[in-house]
Structure formats: structure tokens, C-alpha cells
Amino acid sequence: MPSDLKIQNNHKLKMLFFLAMALVLIAIAFFTTNPGNLFQGLVRINTTTCHLFTDFVATGGFGVTLVNVALVLLFELMIIHFSNAPITGPLLAALITTAGFAFFGTNLFNTIPIVLGVALYSRLEKIPMRTFLLHAFMGTAIGPLVSYIGFGIDLEPALSLTLAIQTGLIIGMVLPPLSSSFLRFHQGYNLYNLGFTAGVIGLIAVAILRINGVEVEPVSIIDTQHRTQLIILVSSIFFSFFLFGLILNKWSLRDYPKLLAESGRSLSDFVVMHGSGLALINMGVMGFLSLAYVLIIRGPVNGPIAGAMMTVAGFGALGKHPRNCIPVMLGSTIACLLHRDLQTTGAIVPILFGTTLAPMTGGFGVFAGVLAGYLHIAVVSQVLPLHAGLNLYNNGFSGGFIAAVLVPLIEAGRNAIEKRKSDVSTQISEDN
């Protein structure tokens, strides 16, 4: 296990790494997009309703989306810096996941109020903000609710914006206590716990909107023109994770098999458990695994799918690795082959995000992982209407229910088998 001093030293390098990543994205944007169009595109991204699926590459443009990703990343780096928080596994996962969702759902408008709400909760409870950074960043999953109230409801603009900001603040204040409670619901076998929390908040919010005569209409705005550019972009990001990890791990893959032996159950902080180097290497591996899957099935690559791949990579620091993810992906793939078109955004996104159930493999074996992945596809489309796409981590919402059902059933089955074996052994002993 790495020392606190080593983690602290690596913290500065990781801050510089992600700062460089954000600046490179901005540089690419200026080289690929007319600077005058960047501002207009950012305005479009920040004034859209953002709920599933709103592909920013389609609404704002490729270069504009990169700037949006960079701005979200820079904002979170600033919060980390002023909070004096070390970048361990949870924050690595949060940084890359939220950067991924900046391709199709999060922006500064819907992010800042939620983060400020968490900061208010921190101040009221007199607990350092660094304790709640995971809640602040992952909580932006419900960001589209803020955007929808701001720009999707027919009210006076000043009133809409005021209500939107107030909503974001309230969400941020309730996220920490709710997420702690819901973690017990699925016992840590759903890695996207804040996605489940956001789903519950979204469900309640949509119910309130509907009872007041506001119906959230589904959207499907998907880019079809930047597949190659996105493949090159995410490949470069995943390679940078792998290379940076190798550098921190002294150009060695030593002890990586130990990481692969972890169950992944929340919170499996691979930075604390195995060091920043191996965690980043695993992030790169998970990113390339998700990309390879998409390429093998000849699926599209757009903003939502790029965001999904980034999330898989990010959680390579917090529970996911190839051994516990592949069975879940296999189960989800089987479900899609049997019941829907595999080569669509609507299928690929839940297959990749379904790896939130990776701990089911680690905790209960390959069959449990395959079963969880299969059930995930069955459930995920049914829970979407409950929050009307206002929760970007819809798969975390679905995963929470699946884990909550499967875990006690599997454990009860195991206990029954063990009791039967014990009874048989006792009977044999008595007979002898």
C-alpha cells in the first residue's frame, strides 16, 4: 500500500497532468474551430435542456464540446486545489467521469449551482469540503434538471434562471446525506451510487413537474459526423493515462495482477490500495477495452458513447478492471442481441455503463456478473421514464435496483448451500 507522502507527491503531478489535458483540449478546439464560433457554440451548450440524449458534438460542434469538457475539468481542478484534497481513486473517477459527461449533459451552468450546494452543506455541517468532493462532482449527474428548469419551462427568463439556480443549490445540499443512506440499499455492489441517488432525486423532481402540468419530452440529438475525430481523441486520452501510469510505476506492470484480483466493491480505491501508477494504467486499459468493444461490434462513436468510454476509464481507479467488467458486458451484449439492435447508441451506452455492476462479478463470480449485465439491459430502459432523462447516470439508477435484488438472493442461496453442506457433514460424522 502506498504511503501518504507518496500519494501527496503524486498529487502535484496529477494536477499538472489534468491541467495539461484541459489546455490541450482547448488548443485542439482553436485549431479545429473558428474562434468566433466557439463562443456561440458554448452559449448553445449552456442554454440547452441537456437531458438524455443531448449530444453536445451535434448541438455545439466538435471543437466547442472540447472547450466545454476543458472548462468543466478546469473548474473541478480549481475546487480540488482550494479544498486541499488529494487525488485518490474517487476523485480520479469523478474527474474523468464528469469530463466524459461534458460531451453530453454537463456544463458550467448546471454544474456550478450543484457544487455550491454541496459547499453550503459542508459549511452548515462544519465538515471540510474535501470530504464531499465526490458528491459535488458526481452529483452533477442531475445537472440536466437544472438546465431544464432554466431553459425548458415556459416562464419568464429571470424567474426560470432563479428557480434553476435554487434547484441546483438544493440538490447539492441533499446529495451527501442521501447518497450515504442509499449506499446501504445496494451494499456497494453498484459503483454509481450517486447515479442511483440522482435517479431518486430526478424521479421526485419529475413527479413535481408533472403534477404542475410540465411534461419533460424525450430527446435524441446524436452526432453522426465526427466518429473518426472522437476515436482519435479518446484513444489519445486513454494512451496518456496508460503512459502516465507507467511513468509513475517506474515503467513496470508489476503487481497489476493483484489489482485484477480485487472484487471492486465500493469503495475500492485503487490509488490507495495499489498506487497511482497502477490505477492510471488500469484506467488506460479500461478505456481501450471499451473502445475495442465499440469498434469490434462496428458501433457508432458520438458524444454519449465517448462519455460512456470516459466513465469506464475513470472508474478504472475506483472498482473496475477487465476481470470484473467483461462478464457484465457479455451479459448485456447477450440481452441486446436477443432483444434489440446492438449497433445503436441506445444499446452501446447501457452496455458500457452497465459495468457499474462489476462488483457482482468480483463478489459472486462470473455467472453473477453475466446475469447482472443481462438484467441491466432489461431494467435500464424501464427506469428512464421515471426521471425523464434528467439523470445522466440512468444506468447507476438501474444498477442500484439490480444489485439490491440480486445480492440478498445470491447470499441467501449461498447460505442455504453452506447450511446443507454443514448438515451433511454433521450427519456423516454421526453415522461414523
Q: Which residues of 284-320 are buried (b: 16+ CB within 10 A; e: fewer)?
A: bbbbbbbbebbeeeebbbbbbbbbbbbbbbbbbbbbb
Q: Fill in the DSSP letter of residue 397.
A: H
Indicate the length of the chain as a whole number. Answer: 432
Predicted confidence at residue 432, as pLDDT, reads 58
Nearest to 276 by CA among 311, 307, 316, 237: 316
DSSP 8-state symbol, 250 = T
- Bridge partners, residue 88, by sequence: none
pLDDT at 271: 94
Query: Are 239 and 284 a contacting pair, CB within 8 Å?
Result: yes
Residue 92 pLDDT more than 90? yes
Q: How confident is the model at residue 45 (pLDDT cuts 50, 70, 90)?
A: very high
pLDDT of residue 7: 54
Amino acid found at 257: P
Q: Give the per-residue pLDDT at 103.
A: 96
Q: Has residue 124 got a pLDDT over 60?
A: yes
pTM of the model: 0.93
- Name the H helices within 249-365: 256-260, 270-274, 276-296, 303-314, 322-339, 345-353, 358-364
Q: Model confidence over 128-139: pLDDT tens digits?
A: 999 999 999 999
pLDDT in tens, 257-315: 999 999 998 788 999 999 999 999 999 999 999 999 999 999 999 999 999 999 999 99
Tell me the Cα Rg of the chain.
Answer: 21
Q: Residue ranges of the domains in the chain?
A: 4-211
Type of residue found at 384? L
CB 135 within 8 A of CB 179: yes
Q: How far apart are CA 321 and CA 325, in angstroms?
A: 6
Q: Quote the CA–CA distance of 110 and 234 in Å, as a whole number.
A: 24
Q: Which residue has the higher pLDDT, 385 or 207?
A: 207
Residue 17 CA to residue 113 CA, distance in Å, equals: 26
pLDDT, position 52? 84
pLDDT score for 184:
76
What is the secondary structure of 212-244 as a DSSP string?
A: TT-------B---S-HHHHHHHHHHHHHHHHHH
Dist CA 352 CA 316 (whole Å)? 13
How far, in Å, CA of 223 to CA of 220, rounded?
10
CA separation, residue 155 to residues 162, 182, 212 (Å)? 11, 34, 13
**Of 49-53, 227-231, 259-263, 300-304, which gets the smallest average pLDDT?**
49-53
- What does the DSSP 8-state code read for residue 142? G
β partners of residue 221: 54
Could you give the percent of the chain with pLDDT greater than 90? 72
Separation CA 432–CA 428 (nearest Å): 6
Over residues 236-253, the pLDDT tens digits come to 999 999 999 999 999 999
SS3 54: strand
Pick the range with the lowest mean pLDDT from 37-41, 158-162, 309-313. Answer: 37-41
Residue 3 predicted with pLDDT over 70: no
For the stretch 333-340, contacts whose Cβ atoms lie closer than 8 Å and that sit 24 or more positions apart, written own/partner, are 333/373, 334/370, 334/373, 334/374, 335/373, 335/374, 335/375, 335/376, 335/377, 335/378, 336/377, 339/377, 339/378, 340/377
Question: Distance (Å, rounded) from C-alpha 429 to C-alpha 241?
Answer: 57
- Examine the pLDDT at 162 and tell me if it is beyond 90: yes
Q: What is the pLDDT of residue 431?
A: 61
54 forms beta bridges with 221
Residue listed under C-alpha cell 460542434: 61
Across the chain, mean pLDDT equals: 91
Q: For residues 267 and 281, what is the distance between their CA atoms, to the nearest angstrom?
A: 19
- The pLDDT confidence band at residue 426, using thresholds 50, 70 and 90, is low
